[in-house]
Every structure is written in structure tokens, then in C-alpha cells.
Amino acid sequence: MNAQLAAQNPEPMARSPQRALSAQALAPASVGNVGIGFDILGHSVAGAGDRARVRRIDEPVVRIAAIEGCVVDLPLDPAQNTAGMALMALRKALGLRHGFELVLHKGIALGSGMGGSASSCVAALVAANALLERPLPMESLYGFALEGEAVASGGRHGDNVGPMLLGGLVLATRDRLVRVPVPDAWHCALVHPHMVLETRKARAALAGAYQLGEFVAQSANLSLMLAGCWQGDAGLVREGLNDVLVEPRRAPLIPGFARVKQAAMDHRAMGASISGAGPSVFGWFEQRDEAKAAAAAMAAAFAEAGLDSDTLVSPIAGPSAALIDVERKA
């Protein structure tokens, strides 16, 4: 669905029989870019996420009451906060007379390459959507999520918010979300070293000249990988999941990256690369047991570089954001 059209002409869900007063939602972590799909490809990851509780208020404003969890030193000014800006965009587009009060619980560290800023704004939107008289389809929240994500990254790219909204592997252009099917057995190993790599710094590493041949090779690899996913052909994915454009320029920012990636490949990964802007590293596997063994080996490689790390093993067809609970008017 075209996100701009969705914001202008939303297709509402059925009217709720009782007005919701507050709602809480969880948005999962994600692997942005998936190596070869810079800014346009990502998949959700089970096992980590941000929660948002949103309360409907009479004042026509967005107010952030508190930020809790693993990160608390974030702006309370909604215009400077990804979740706050997303809710401001929702209010403006729909012409809402009421406002929202938001409490965020951060479960994803910022600068981790796991979609921490995107998770906050998607969780807030899904919770706020439940408070509308006519809630919108998930796809219709995409444009508002892009507005929020831009606060953190400086640009409107949907490789994190797209898969959080729809679940699984998603191709996310500026105006459209396309769910890409993958076999249920395929899993991701995601390893997050205990260091921070700011998205803006990681993007700065991409400045400089590029050769036309690099773009041709990257396009070919992306095409092979997407074809492999649609056909369930691991051989095509193995041939295509190779980032020749971005990874070589960002790898020096991540201590021990080469050994961590090799650990994944040594455990039969279809491919491995940097998750989002880094420093987390992911690998794709045909079976969960392979991903689980690889995650331990990848963490050991980070340890050799002097970094503790956390590991997640998730289906590539991971979960979407979802409501946890809704409080309704008696």
C-alpha cells in the first residue's frame, strides 16, 4: 500500500464497541539492510523489543511521561523523540482533537544495529492506533513510523520499521511495503557486542567515491537473494547474500568483525553481515540448530576481540508488533 495515500485516505478497521483508554504494545528488534538491501530490506527478530504504553488524553498534544528500561537518557520533548514524533505525525494527519501520553520501556539498546529507535516509534504507533475510534491497518502506520525514524537517523528509510509492522522479511521503499516469503525453518543468529555505534557515524563511513561495478554487483546479489527467498532456494541465497558495497566500509568500525563473520560461515551460514548500522552481526541459516551453534561461536569471536555480547536466535519470518493489553472504558 502507498504510505502517503494511506495517510490521506486510510482504510479504517471496524469501530471498537467500547472506547479504549490506554493500550500497550510491543515492537520486536530487527535486522536492517540484511547486508545487501541498504535502507530497503529488513526482517524482524524475536526475543527483544521495546514496549510503549499510550494513554488517550483530552489535551491536543503528545506528552512523554517517562522512559524506562535499558536506555533512559532520551529526549522527553516529543519532537526530538522517535516515538513522540511518530505520534505527532499521526495526530496531524488524522486531525485528532485529543492527544496521547506515552510511557516507553526500552528493551533494545540504542546504537546496537537492532532497530532500537524504530522499535520505539512502532510500538507507540500500534498502541495509539488501538485508541482510535476506527483503528488503521498496520500498513497505514508506515508513513508515520518513517517520520519518527527520521528523528534518529536523519532520513526516511523503512528497513527497520517495515518488518516491525508486518513481521518477517520486508522490502520497504519510500511508499510501499512488500512481505517477502521465506521458509519457516530458516533462522537468524544475531549477536550484539557490548559497544555503541551511532547510526550517524556509521553513515559517515559510507562517504566517498563508488565504482559503477560495485553497484552492478550489489544489485545482482540482491536479486539472487530475493529470488532465493521467494523460491525457498538456499543455494541462491548463499550466492547472493554478500554485501560488496557497504560492509567493506563499515567493517573497520566493528572490532573483530572478520572473525565473527567467519565463525558464522564456518557453521554453514547462507551468508553473514552487519545488522543495520552495526555493531551487531547476523547470519542466516537453514536450520535453528545451525543458528544456535553459530551464535555461540560468533559470541566467542567477539570475546577474543575483548567484547562481551548478547545473542538471539529467531526465525527469519519473525513476529510483527502487537498489542499486549488494552484498557477500555467501563
Mean pLDDT value across residues 96-117:
95
Clarify whether residues 30 and 110 are in a common domain. yes
Residue 330: per-residue pLDDT: 62
Q: List the grid coordinates of 38.
A: 541498504
> Using 50, 70 and 90 to split pLDDT, how confident is the model at 80?
very high
Residue 144 has pLDDT above 90, yes or no: yes
Residue 77 has pLDDT above 60, yes or no: yes
Q: What is the mean pLDDT of the chain?
A: 93
Clarify whether residues 248 and 108 are in a common domain. no
Clarify whether residues 302 and 220 are in a common domain. yes
Residue 153: per-residue pLDDT: 78
Clarify whether residues 262 and 323 are in a common domain. no
Clarify whether residues 55 and 186 are in a common domain. no
Clarify whether residues 101 and 186 are in a common domain. no
Q: Give the domain CATH number at 202.
A: 3.30.70.890
Q: Give the domain CATH number at 52.
A: 3.30.230.10
| Confidence (pTM) | 0.92
113 is in an annotated binding site: yes
Clarify whether residues 310 and 189 are in a common domain. yes
> Using 50, 70 and 90 to split pLDDT, how confident is the model at 18?
low
Give tens-digit pLDDT for 271-288: 999 999 999 999 999 999
112 is in an annotated binding site: yes
Total domains in the fold of the chain: 2
Clarify whether residues 17 and 166 are in a common domain. yes
116 is in an annotated binding site: yes
Clarify whether residues 124 and 162 are in a common domain. yes
Partners of residue 271 on adjacent β-strands: 284
120 is in an annotated binding site: no
> Using 50, 70 and 90 to split pLDDT, how confident is the model at 318?
very high
Clarify whether residues 32 and 80 are in a common domain. yes
30 is in an annotated binding site: no
Residue 19: per-residue pLDDT: 77
Residue 192: per-residue pLDDT: 98
> Using 50, 70 and 90 to split pLDDT, how confident is the model at 17?
low
52 is in an annotated binding site: no
Clarify whether residues 16 and 139 are in a common domain. yes
Residue 14 has pLDDT above 70, yes or no: no
Give tens-digit pLDDT for 54-76: 999 999 999 999 999 999 999 99
**Domain residues for 70?**
3-177+318-328
Residue 328: per-residue pLDDT: 87
> Using 50, 70 and 90 to split pLDDT, how confident is the model at 329?
confident
Clarify whether residues 159 and 33 are in a common domain. yes
Residue 198: per-residue pLDDT: 81
> Using 50, 70 and 90 to split pLDDT, how confident is the model at 264?
very high
138 is in an annotated binding site: no
Mean pLDDT value across residues 107-136:
95
Partners of residue 43 on adjacent β-strands: 31, 169
SS3 of 89-152: the string is: HHHHHHCCCCEEEEEEEECCCCCCCCCHHHHHHHHHHHHHHCCCCCCCCHHHHHHHHHHHHHHH
49 is in an annotated binding site: no
More confident residue, 202 or 192: 192
117 is in an annotated binding site: yes
Strand duo 169-172 + 99-106: pairing: unpaired
Give tens-digit pLDDT for 193-247: 999 988 778 889 999 999 999 999 999 999 999 999 999 999 999 999 999 999 9
> Tell me, what amino acid is at 92?
K
Give tens-digit pLDDT for 161-191: 999 999 999 999 999 999 999 999 999 999 9
> Using 50, 70 and 90 to split pLDDT, how confident is the model at 6?
very low
